[in-house]
Amino acid sequence: MSRRAHDAPAAPDPPPHRSRPHVVRERVLAVLAPLALAVVVLGLWQAAVVVGNVPPYLVPAPTRIAATLWADRVLLIDALGVTAGVALMALALAVGAGVVVAFAFAQSRIVEASLLPYAILLQVTPIVAIAPLIIIWVHDTRTALVLCATVVAIFPIIANTSLGLRSVDPGLADLFRMSGASRWQFLVRLRIPGALPYFFGGLRIASGLALIGAVVAEFVAGTGGQGAGLAYQILMAGIELNIPRLFAALVVITLAGVVLYLAVGAVARLALGSWHESERER
């Protein structure tokens, strides 16, 4: 054996594989840590309200909010169904339109240079400024609400998906060209799989924005009656100084956003968990 071969540095050791109990322990900690913090915060909140004798029309105690959640569960669930329906339809529309626009951006620099400034303008324009116009122009209130929420949610889909379609590994791109891959094969077998992590990153953001857009649009529209959403219940609770119901509606909106975010995360793990490091089991 030559001296050069003898003195050659050894290959780096592979990263240690974490055992199954360690992974389970991390997952349990990820759930228990925020729950413990929530218990501490709610306990301090309850103690401050009780000790300070704060009236419920200013800041209700967590126990009072929980009681209101149970007492008004039918009203709040019906309102949640309206708001969640608008948000889900807006999210689906944002995904469909955003992906189409992102593919157009990835295929043509001219299209991207022509449309991207208007997409940015749509993103930075406050929805409360354009929602009244959409509601006036569109006679059907539910359709107007969906369009308003779509405007809020579409930009992360466009930005992340177009970035993913352009972030192709140069080595793999050269391999595809050397193999004589067609433009369709290049798109389906390389660009789209590589863009999926970026797409799901944008989808996580868009899911929350769709819910926010639906609530803001309901605030602007002020829709009431049987088709009233959670925003209308918040408005009416504020007018009636029913602050516990107002907080209860806020809790329902927050939980709906968390559930929507977790659902998107679960879909991302199903789609990417077997091959991409961002969702692979750690």
The model carries a pTM of 0.84
**Two structure tokens written together for 161:** 């998906």
CA dist 247 and 63 (Å) reads: 11
- Torsional class of 163: left (φ above 0), alpha (ψ -120 to 50), beta (otherwise): alpha
Query: For residue 140, how far is the Cα from the chain centroid?
Result: 26
For the residues 218-224, what does the mean pLDDT come to? 76
For the residues 230-236, what does the mean pLDDT come to? 91
261 contacts: CB under 8 Å, gap ≥ 6: 204, 207, 208
Band of residue 123 on the pLDDT scale cut at 50, 70, 90? confident
Which pLDDT score is estimated for 127?
A: 87
Which pLDDT score is estimated for 53?
A: 92
CA dist 134 and 276 (Å) reads: 40
Which pLDDT score is estimated for 190?
A: 86
In angstroms, the first-to-last Cα distance of the chain is 40
**Two structure tokens written together for 19:** 């055992």
Band of residue 179 on the pLDDT scale cut at 50, 70, 90? confident
Which pLDDT score is estimated for 282?
A: 47
Kindly give the interhelix angle for 127-137 and 141-166, rounded to the nearest 10 degrees. 130
Which pLDDT score is estimated for 278?
A: 67
Percent pLDDT > 90 in the chain is 51
pLDDT tens readout for residues 22-77: 767 877 888 888 899 999 999 999 999 999 999 999 999 999 999 999 999 999 99
Which pLDDT score is estimated for 6?
A: 47
